[in-house]
Amino acid sequence: MESVDVIVVGAGIAGLTTARELLKQDPTLKVLVLEGKDRVGGRTLTVNVQTANHTGDKFDMGGQWVGRTQKELLALLDELKIELYEQYETGRKKAQLGNEKIRSYTASLPIFAAGSFTLYEVIDFVRNIFRMNRMSNKINVLDAFSWEGAVAADEQSVASFARSIALTRSARDALDIGMRAVYGAEAKRMSLLYHLLYCKSGGSFMDLIEATGDGAQAFRIKGGSQQISLKMAEALGDRVRLRSGVRHIETSEGGPTRVTLLNGEKLECKRLVLAIPPNQCGLVEFSPPLGYLKRRLYDNMTPGHLIKFVVTYKSSFWRADGNSGEIISAGRTTIPGEILPIVCSYDATTSNGCPAIVGFIHAELHDWTMNERCNAVVKDLVRFFGSKALSEFIAYEEKNWNKEPFNGGCPVDYVTPGNMDAFMTIRDMHYGVHFAGTETALVWMGYMSGAVESGKRAANEVLHALGLRERVDHKYLKGSQFSVEYHHPHPPNDHYVDYTSPWRRRLFFGTALVFGIYAVSKKYDLSYTARVFRPVEKSVFKWWTGMEWPH
């Protein structure tokens, strides 16, 4: 049986970062990276698509955007000498919210577009965003249930919350589109508490959906995002093994951890890092079994089901027409059951100048064929940008992440209502097994930057466990059980409270006051007071003695 110091399962950004950091701190470590697919990159994938002038260019079909505050990713890109360029967002944007009407606006988001939406709708947008940000600011990412409103938030979905506060259909549609674009999921299936925590990890809900300022869609990567993993894997050389999916993990306290691959091969290591999506962790057999909360976590974290598309064109006609290429669409019409395909889109013109539009398709279209989705997408683009969206069409490419092996979906796994107590264990170790992946991050959870952070945390946990503590960077142990500041998160606050009714005290003091006034009135013969209390005196005397008041 082959034996190494550390096995990392998963050759996405998180897993490769883990291996890279371990070898950076101790080049003598024997590190092995196992990947079930025939490629590295995880939820990043860069493909070649036909473009104008009979050429081809690289387009991202998975994670692709970089935000200005995503420090871990920016630092890694700098180390790997990978360049960025700004996301194009100049011009009019298109929105279909509240009804079938297509509206144009030039602000960064509809909430600032008073000229295109009614004042009532704009006020509704603003108050809903403000309330959501105010709630998310109260969340402690490391201890969600320390907030007094956490239990109630976890018991409801984002959709039920939106219906309780939104006054217009436009505001509800805007939130639904945000959920579909950010998580690849419907708002009615997601825990409100998870959404608030996710917003807090990225800064705010606005930061998750904007392409300006500190927004997550501010930059794109020249040559595509998969090259991050390709460059790290190239440096690791034969330490990365493809087509090596894991079936069984046997671990123990202080002993070796043994891994059985899908092909039956067995490996042994001192520490193991599982850097795969939570829904895939749930498919691995553990001995001894995972704890109750960890097991429930993996059973109830659901992958987003985004379908991403790229359409290439002869020219950037939308720019010439004064449009930015951005669309947000509810996709609903007046026909019951009809769903139009596009959720949102952006200008995807490459750094080489090849014109294209990139966007996301409603999950309800999963069962359609690729040709059917292509026709529907182009038809929908014509609805927003006019006939040139058809006449200048060159090629269509898509990625249905629901069918991707060893992923199960994209862009992120989310938590269903009532399971956030289980989510708080996501970083907890299981004997000799550590857990990485963007869902385990504290900052920019669900994004490539979160994957980098999680890989560094896992690497430092392993260094600590192997006794190489002088090489541990303790800032990356935040949230880890090895952190000196670690404390177990609060459980959901649903215990009984010893409650004493205030009416007992009120009755006592009220009675004392009445008898005090009565005593004073008798002593000083206060006629007006006596008139008030004499009937009371008579009634009490008769009730107590059974006799009439003496005349």
Helix orientation angle between 13-25 and 226-236, rounded to the nearest 10 degrees: 40
Side chain identity at residue 297, one-letter code: L
**Residues β-bridged to residue 57:** 49
246 labelled ligand-binding: yes
DSSP string, 10-70: --SHHHHHHHHHHHHH-TTS-EEEE-SSSSS-TT--EEEEEEGGGEEEEEESS--EE-TT-
The encoded tokens of residue 273 equal: 């890092």
- Backbone phi, then psi, for 288, in 5-degree steps? -70, 160
* Alpha helices for 386-447 (secondary structure H): 388-391, 420-423
Report the C-alpha gap between 79 and 452 in whole angstroms: 13
Report the C-alpha gap between 468 and 463 in whole angstroms: 5
Closest CA to 32 of 260, 272, 283: 272
CA separation, residue 120 to residues 127, 137, 158 (Å): 11, 26, 22
The side-by-side arrangement of strands in the sheet containing 219-221 is 65-66, 219-221, 84-86
205 labelled ligand-binding: no
**Residues β-bridged to residue 398:** 309
| Bind-site residues | 246, 360, 439
| Bind-site residues for FAD | 246, 439
| Bind-site residues for substrate | 360
